[in-house]
């Protein structure tokens, strides 16, 4: 397995720099980078809005576990602190999908168990892969169809920005 979809987000410190650090840190493995969106926090914790994007990566040397390792190393470099579930963070890098692999491993569940509920993942993903699919409850579904099934307020909560991450 080589190709993965990563969801990146930040709402502490220089969020744009934190997101850019992911693109820079993954270097030549980066295939595509979505526009950056502003989104309300998800999960009920009071905090400021997030900047979110999706990065598609490909490296013949990387499997799902390696993408997780790289993601966690990037979070650590951004001084990510895990004090509160769904709380504020300098950088969050989630492995959303890795070539359609399905895994219930508690260390890395694939596809990401809540990706299909999060417009802030689906909207930017469609920007870079309009024909993307995601396995939900054992069924391979078009991401566009999943997004259409979300509540309108969830979809409208993903707002465009002028921020562009450099590749």
Let me know how many helices (H) and strands (E) the chain has, helices first. Answer: 5, 8
What 8-state DSSP symbol labels residue 1?
Answer: -
Q: Which residues contact 122 (CB under 8 A, 6 or more apart)?
A: 115, 116, 143, 146, 147, 150
**In a domain? residue 166:** no
> Nearest-5° angle of CA 146, CA 151, CA 155?
75
Q: How far apart are the first and last CA of the chain?
A: 23
Full-model pTM: 0.94
In terms of residue numbers, what domain contains 129? 3-160
Please tell me the predicted confidence (pLDDT) of residue 41: 82
**In a domain? residue 94:** yes
* Position 85 pLDDT exceeds 70: no
**In a domain? residue 140:** yes
How many domains does one find in the chain? 1
CATH number of the domain that residue 9 is part of: 3.30.70.560
Confirm if 6 and 93 have CB atoms less than 8 A apart.
Answer: yes
d(C-alpha 54, C-alpha 58), whole Å: 13
Please tell me the predicted confidence (pLDDT) of residue 154: 94
* Position 74 pLDDT exceeds 70: yes
Please tell me the predicted confidence (pLDDT) of residue 156: 95
**In a domain? residue 101:** yes
Confirm if 77 and 36 have CB atoms less than 8 A apart.
Answer: no
Digit-coded pLDDT (tens) for 113-164: 999 999 999 999 999 999 999 999 999 999 999 999 999 999 999 999 999 9
Looking at the DSSP bridge assignments, the partners of residue 38 are: 51, 159
SS3 state at 49: coil
Percentage of the chain lying above the pLDDT 70 cut: 92
Mean model confidence pLDDT for the chain:
93
């Amino acid at each position: 397995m080589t190709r993965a979809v990563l969801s990146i987000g930040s709402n502490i410190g220089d969020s744009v720099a934190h997101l850019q650090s992911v693109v820079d840190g993954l270097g030549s493995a980066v295939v595509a980078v979505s526009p950056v969106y502003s989104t309300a926090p998800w999960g009920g914790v009071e905090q400021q809005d997030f900047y979110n994007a999706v990065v598609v990566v490909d490296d013949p040397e990387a499997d799902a576990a390696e993408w997780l390792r790289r993601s966690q190393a990037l979070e650590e470099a951004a001084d990510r602190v895990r004090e509160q579930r769904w709380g504020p963070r300098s950088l969050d890098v989630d492995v959303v999908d890795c070539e359609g692999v399905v895994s219930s491993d508690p260390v890395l569940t694939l596809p990401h168990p809540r990706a299909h509920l999060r417009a802030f993942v689906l909207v930017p993903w469609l920007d870079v892969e309009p024909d993307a699919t995601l396995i939900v409850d054992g069924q391979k579904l078009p991401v566009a169809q999943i997004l259409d099934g979300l509540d309108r307020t969830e979809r409208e909560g993903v707002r465009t920005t002028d921020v562009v991450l450099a590749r």
